[in-house]
Chains A and B, each alone.
Chain A
Amino acid sequence: MGEAEIGSTPDNPRGRPWNRPVTLPRVEWRFGHPGRRYQPTEWLTVDYAITGLEEERLRAFERSIVWYTEGKGEEDMGVHFFERFVTPGTFAGAVPEGSFAVQLPASPSSYEGVIVKIRWCVRVRVFFESGRDHVAEQVFTVGDVPPTMPP
């Protein structure tokens, strides 16, 4: 299992106004390929397990595969795969454990440029009934483009 990468949205700080410690969810990932390196149009399979969901009831759950840009420019994002579960009946197959398989597109490839970088990631987002939400993501690589250096 890969180490969890947990994020908490800025609207939901770790310190709670009612002085009650809240356990942040943790996500463990397992990718079909060691090193999380894939080729374009290849199938990506990923298993995940979320812990720390016992304290609150879920309102919705989302899982997605996205690419986004980093670097000097404003961030752009493209969604390749997106699923949203909004009723408790549908949570069973997705939370706290789930898996999915998606065929990756032919482009864009992961890219480590000088002022433009492109990253792919698997992302899950948990919405609680209290209004809080948590997001976790794990980056993976598409393609074999080496990092670029200025000439």
Chain B
Amino acid sequence: MRLPRFFPKKRGNRRTGSQVWGSFAEGVFYGVLLAAGIVFGLLLVTGTAKYAPADPDTVVLQRGYEWWMWLLTLLIPVALVAFGGSGLARVVQVWGKSLEHRAAASRPAILDGLASVVSDQASHPSVPLCENLENSPGTVLRYRLPLESPENWSLVGYGVFALLWNAFVVVLAVSAGADLMGGTTDWLLIALLVPFAAVGIGGVAMLVRSVILATSVGPTQIEISDHPLLPGATYDVLLGQGGASLFRSIDMVLEMEESATFRQGTDTRTQRLVVYRQPLGNWRRVQPVPGGNFGARVSVTIPGDSMHSFASDNNAVLWRIVVKATPDRWPGFTRVFPVVVFPSPVGGTGGAPVTEEGE
């Protein structure tokens, strides 16, 4: 057996590396965790060592904790034992199995020595589920698509940041105030408090701005005549944009985006790249009807040779309708409406396989 290499080579686009050594190292890691948990737990259970100087040949063991503290400290070794034990069991379970065998073993239809085709849960394996996209009927067209707006996540992010940061600032301020009331002045604490308070005020300002932006421009709605989408088919799309103010521009596009998640050192990163973009409509100087919506109905045709929607653990091909709008008095915003494109229906299910001349 070859010794492990710390810098494995790449063979084409496929990574090489010893599975045996990898599994061995993984097993050692989990084994060490398990052993540490057991030893740590035994030490806690049996008590602490006590050395009597008058009798250097004797070491007395006794419990050094209250019962609740003893129970609390047992959480760490129990977690180590659970994590290490489950990991070690998983390593033993997959030891010596090929990648295909491991992947197949995770599916109940696969049994050793039996020929079987994996029966996927859905008729379209690896295509994202679309139930969540079809559970809201439209007012004019068949479905109203759900919104997946990055602005909503920004709003949540600003809110969490403002809450946590200002809670920290309040703790600092209370401490500084208590010092002042006690007659002492901690200048270092006060010097720290000033920039921290400025950041906290900035966080609140960003949160308020985001809330105003989210509520002032009005909701965006997309309705579609059918779903899931099929390559080569044409669908009606209805755009509805609420709001009382003027929009300098509203653009609607159909996009296909590739998404790849990879590890870089200890970080996990995701790269996204739009590889197809089809303009569906653009409108200038739009003024929604007071108390109503701006509405526009367009047609969208999915190209016949398009890739269908695809999603696996680390890779994805996703379709979506994107609305980009620029209000007259507010910053522009982007709202995303995911859709699912199925593969083209192909009549290739003939029962008898035919062997033709191969290459």
Contacts and interface: CB of A to CB of B under 8 A. Distances in A.
B260 A115 contact: yes
Interface string A31-72: 111111011111111010000000000000010101101111
Contact of A144 (B261, B305, B315, B342): B305
Contact of A106 (B124, B260, B274, B315): B124
Please tell me the size bucket of the interface on B.
35 or more
A118 to B, nearest CB: 7
Nearest to B16: A10
A145 B13 contact: no
Contact of B353 (A32, A73, A118, A146): A32
A30 B358 CA distance: 5
Contacts of A77: 99-100, 103
A115 B127 CA distance: 18
Interface string B80-112: 000000000000000000111101100100101
B54 interface: no
Contacts of A86: 112-113
Contacts of A143: 343-344
Interface in B230-289: 258-263, 271, 273-277
B125 A72 contact: no
Contacts of A40: 343-344, 346, 348
A10 B17 contact: yes
A62 B99 CA distance: 11
Q: Which of B262, B276, B358 has the most CB of A within 10 A?
A: B358
A41 B1 CA distance: 42
A37 to B, nearest CB: 11
A107 B103 contact: no
B2 A111 contact: no
B14 interface: yes
Contacts of B107: 79
B305 A41 contact: no
B348 A39 contact: yes
A109 interface: yes
Please tell me the size bucket of the interface on A.
35 or more
A102 B100 CA distance: 16
A62 B258 contact: no
A116 B259 contact: yes
Interface stretch (B29-37, B65-73, B114-122, B186-194): B114-122
A81 to B, nearest CB: 5
A73 B314 contact: yes
B346 A107 contact: no
B265 to A, nearest CB: 14
B58 interface: no
B260 A71 contact: yes
Interface in A7-25: 9-13
Nearest to B317: A116
Contacts of A9: 19
A74 B314 contact: yes
A86 B114 CA distance: 11
B315 A131 contact: no
18 contacts: A2-B358, A11-B21, A40-B346, A42-B349, A44-B353, A66-B103, A75-B15, A76-B313, A79-B107, A86-B112, A102-B117, A107-B127, A113-B258, A117-B13, A123-B100, A131-B1, A143-B344, A146-B305
Given A47-B358, A74-B315, A144-B305, 20 more contacts: A10-B8, A10-B16, A29-B358, A32-B356, A34-B358, A39-B346, A43-B348, A75-B15, A77-B103, A79-B100, A79-B104, A79-B110, A81-B115, A82-B101, A100-B115, A103-B349, A106-B123, A108-B308, A115-B271, A131-B1
Interface of B: 1-2, 8, 13-21, 98-101, 103-104, 107, 110, 112-118, 120, 123-127, 258-263, 271, 273-277, 305-308, 310, 312-317, 342-344, 346-350, 352-359
